Amino acid sequence: MGDKFINWLLFTILSLIWGSSFLLMKIGLEQLSPYEVAALRILSAGIVLIPFAYQAFKQIPSNKVGLILLSGLMGSFFPAFLFCVAETKLDSSLTGMLNSLTPLCAVIIGTLFFKLKTTAKKLTGIFIGLIGLFFLVSPHGQLHIGNAHYVLLVILATILYAVNANFVSRSLAGMGSLNIASIAFSLLIIPCIIILFSMGYFSRPLGQADFIRSTAAACVLGTGGTAIATILLYRLIKRAGALFATMVTYGIPFVAAGWGVVYGEQVTLLEIGCLGVILVGVYLANR
């Protein structure tokens, strides 16, 4: 009971953090380019984790540093840019629906390349969850042909998430979650600074309230939605496996519905019913 409780607690916390990230990303994009928001996100995460990086480099074998950097690129760096660029043209409802492809990608990639054993019950649970999520978000967003390449960016991000989840559980097993995250993000600090300089971020009127607000949103997104959440994700992958960890994407609509209530949006019985269907899918896939 103790292990299951901790797994579901991590699942809930990650759902809350990532479910709120769409709002923070939206605020950041009000005054900043998608590349600046993504770079600030990764940069702030790296700065937060720098104090832990020194000990991490001493504890991790040097031949594993490259693998950790690869994990950081696949699991955080590239998806951050892909999502920010995609959300300049796609609404958050459609993005959330596409993001739910991550568990399905994890099963397919894990089965094909990582020798993951799966069952018909788990696959059924994933498809039930996808059905519930589809009916939850379909009233709010439609796919237009002109935006198809932005949809592909989100799909690519989900594939990277799935590959990284399987990669961590296979290649970085036995390493501390904090060590993995601190090394990965500290190595990404310099590339992010270069991107911010190249985008002219430091020449902007950063003292103005609107820019402060957007920058703060991107930094909170990095410290909470990337640094803290990445540590929790690595821990959850090791405790419960890649499939359960990527199912966190199903918890995001619950948080989105909560934000809707806070901001005066109407939450219908149909939406509540769809969330129930999603929970059934999560339960079946992880029995």
Range of the domain at 11: 2-285
**Longest pairwise C-alpha distance within the chain:** 56
Q: At what angle do helices 78-86 and 148-171 cross, to 10 degrees?
A: 160
* CA 242 to mean position of chain CA atoms: 14
> Exposed, middle or buried by CB within 10 Å (0-12, 13-18, 19+), for 63?
exposed
Query: Which residue's structure tokens are 């410290």?
Result: 223
**Distance in angstroms (rounded) separating the CA atoms of residues 112 and 143:** 29
Give the pLDDT confidence of 89-104 residue by residue, as tens digits: 876 666 766 777 777 7
CA dihedral for 23, 27, 29, 34, sign (positive or negative): negative
pLDDT class for 266, splitting at 50, 70, 90?
low
**Distance in angstroms (rounded) separating the CA atoms of residues 285 and 287:** 6
148-161 burial string, b = 16+ CB within 10 Å, else e? eebbebbbebbbbb
* Tally of structural domains, the chain: 1
**Distance in angstroms (rounded) separating the CA atoms of residues 111 and 180:** 25
The mean pLDDT value of the chain amounts to 82
In this structure, which amino acid lies at residue 4?
K
- Residue 146: the pLDDT is 59
Give the pLDDT confidence of 225-263 residue by residue, as tens digits: 888 888 888 788 888 887 787 777 777 777 776 766 776
Percent of the chain at pLDDT exceeding 70: 89
> What DSSP character marks residue 214?
H
Among 122, 143, 152, CA closest to 244:
122
Radius of gyration of the chain (CA): 18
- Residue 141: the pLDDT is 46
268: CB partners within 8 A, 6+ apart: none
**Distance in angstroms (rounded) separating the CA atoms of residues 77 and 71:** 9
Higher pLDDT, 147 or 166: 166
**Distance in angstroms (rounded) separating the CA atoms of residues 136 and 93:** 9
82: CB partners within 8 A, 6+ apart: 153, 154, 156, 157, 160
